[in-house]
Amino acid sequence: MEADSHDGAPHYRENNGFKVPREMPPDSEEAARKEAARIEPVLKRLYKDHAWNPDRVRTALLGLGYRTGDGLQPGTLIVSGMGERHILTQTAPVTPEGALFALRVRKDACVHGAVKPSGSQLEVSGPFLETGCFEPRGGH
């Protein structure tokens, strides 16, 4: 059985490696946590104000001095909608309310999360193999 194989599923780690962020050196993690501390009160305010659409979230985060970009350069921010979801009880895809964001703090450090009607979330991690600072949603 593979370590971290979730009940012995063959090739689990191999098939789900894209979901594991790269490691961050301690100084990069510290820098990312510092940026997360700046972002957290903004996310809480946006949630409280029901301001979870991507334009409002982008404007609020750009107010902290970040800039929009490709998410590959330090200090660049990407904000998007929640994306379509396929729900078994629905005949057509559904797009939930809310916004996802990803900030590249350093080459090896990210802050990412969401603001949506159910709350806000904020995480610090290294970049993901296939999606940069955005946490991968599904499989391939």
Please state whether the predicted TM-score (pTM) of the whole model is above 0.95. Answer: no
Q: What percent of the chain has a predicted confidence (pLDDT) above 90?
A: 52
Residue 140 pLDDT level (bands cut at 50, 70, 90): very low
8-51, pLDDT tens digit by residue? 565 555 555 445 556 788 999 999 999 999 999 999 999 999 99
Query: What DSSP state is assigned to residue 132?
Result: B
Host H or E run for residue 14? helix 12-16
The bridge status of strand 76-81 relative to strand 67-68 is parallel
The more confidently predicted of residues 92 and 60 is 60
